[in-house]
Amino acid sequence: MKNRLLITISDIHGSKQYSIHEIIKKIIFIIILIFLLIGLGTFFYIKFLSDEVTTSKAETIIFKEKIKSLKSMTIKLTQMGKKLEEENKNLNLDQEQLLEHIGENTDKLESVNKYLRQVEDMIGIEPDMNASFAERIQEAKVNEKEKEKSLVKNIKNKVKKEKITAIQKILLLNNIPNGKPLNYKRISSNFGYRIHPVTKRKTFHSGLDLPAKYGTPIYAPASGAVVYAQKKGHYGNFILISHSYGFKTAYGHLSRYAVKSGDYVSKGQKIGYVGSTGRSTGPHLHYEVRYFRKLLDPKKFMFMDLDNINHISDRIASVNWKSILKQTEKLISLSTK
């Protein structure tokens, strides 16, 4: 009976005994243990879910509070926006009052304009009156009341500076190469390396080839002195003009000349005619722009004018524009004495 378990069951009819083997006893123990573990696991899982629900409720409350806060901020921002609109209207009114005050000083600025006209007359150019006093005043106005006393002086200095800059531009456009030297059809060969149409070798092309009808007039792109006007190797009939500030222009393959060596030419003056002399495959002008010993791309200079001279000159880094502007300032200064 050592390895058996006796179970006694009693009722009204009497008692009965049942014997269970020890192994069955262990199985029952294990089953009971499993049920206990499942019960504990279920308990802790339910507790975990309960904690999560509690946390979610707390986060929901916080989120609702944030929504209330955002609504409150939206109301405040709307009020601030209305306030800024009102301040902006007041500022516009202040600016209109300031412009009225500036308008009272335009008579004083007229004397500056007369002085500038005298300077422009001395150097033989037309006055640049594209920009009005009202535009300059609009740029120069100030917001602080303490600066009102010096406003007229600042505007005078600004007007003088801008006018001098305009004069410098006109001087440069008269004395350095700019614009198209002839009425051409297209650019058949650009500045830089190319396959030569005659030799069929890759060589550096020192200028632009501008096809045009035989005998088309060629004009000086700036004032200067004719240094060379005769045949020169593969250039054929060749002209070299020396301009101010170290610039030179060269013209090749001409059919005939309209100037000779030693002549002084003005901007826009006729200097020769298109041909096909020298190493050429057809009538065209070979056009070069030189700066001291440097070869420059003529295309940039051909599209230079009063409006874009600053933009284009910034793109031509090999030219000492700072030194050139100093020379123009000296010339303007001497012409006003």
Closest CA to 241 of 186, 258, 215: 258
* Residues 299 and 312 reside in one and the same domain: no
How far is the C-alpha of 60 from the C-alpha of 66, rounded, in Å?
Answer: 10
Range of the domain at 266: 192-304
pLDDT at 69: 72
Tell me how far apart the 2 most distant CA atoms of the chain are, in Å. 154
CA distances from 295 to 126, 274, 288, 302 (A): 33, 22, 8, 15
* Residues 88 and 29 reside in one and the same domain: yes
Q: In degrees to the nearest 10, what's the CA dihedral of 53, 58, 64, 68? A: 180
Q: What is the total count of domains within the chain?
A: 3
pTM, to two decimals:
0.52
* Residues 58 and 201 reside in one and the same domain: no
Q: Indicate whether 80 belongs to any domain.
A: yes
* Residues 333 and 274 reside in one and the same domain: no
37 has pLDDT over 90: no
Q: Indicate whether 233 belongs to any domain.
A: yes
Q: Indicate whether 184 belongs to any domain.
A: no
* Residues 72 and 9 reside in one and the same domain: yes
**Residue 257 phi, psi (nearest 5):** -105, 155
* Residues 206 and 293 reside in one and the same domain: yes
Q: Indicate whether 124 belongs to any domain.
A: yes
How far is the C-alpha of 3 from the C-alpha of 25, rounded, in Å?
Answer: 10
Last residue of a domain, one of 92, 126, 158: 92
H or E element, residue 9: strand 4-11
CATH of residue 216's domain is 2.70.70.10
pLDDT digits (tens, 9 = 90+) for 237-285: 999 999 999 999 999 999 999 999 999 999 999 999 999 999 998 999 9
How far is the C-alpha of 211 from the C-alpha of 188, rounded, in Å?
Answer: 7
64 has pLDDT over 70: yes
Q: Indicate whether 182 belongs to any domain.
A: no
Q: Indicate whether 126 belongs to any domain.
A: yes
* Residues 215 and 278 reside in one and the same domain: yes
146 has pLDDT over 60: no
Tokens at 215, concatenated: 């005998």
Closest CA to 284 of 201, 192, 207: 207
Mean pLDDT of 324-337: 79
Q: Indicate whether 181 belongs to any domain.
A: no
* Residues 148 and 125 reside in one and the same domain: yes
196 has pLDDT over 90: no
Q: Indicate whether 321 belongs to any domain.
A: yes
pLDDT at 31: 86
pLDDT at 56: 73
Which DSSP letter does residue 267 get? T
pLDDT at 115: 47
* Residues 313 and 300 reside in one and the same domain: no
- Asked if residues 240 and 280 have their Cβ atoms less than 8 Å apart, the reply is no
How far is the C-alpha of 241 from the C-alpha of 277, rounded, in Å?
Answer: 19
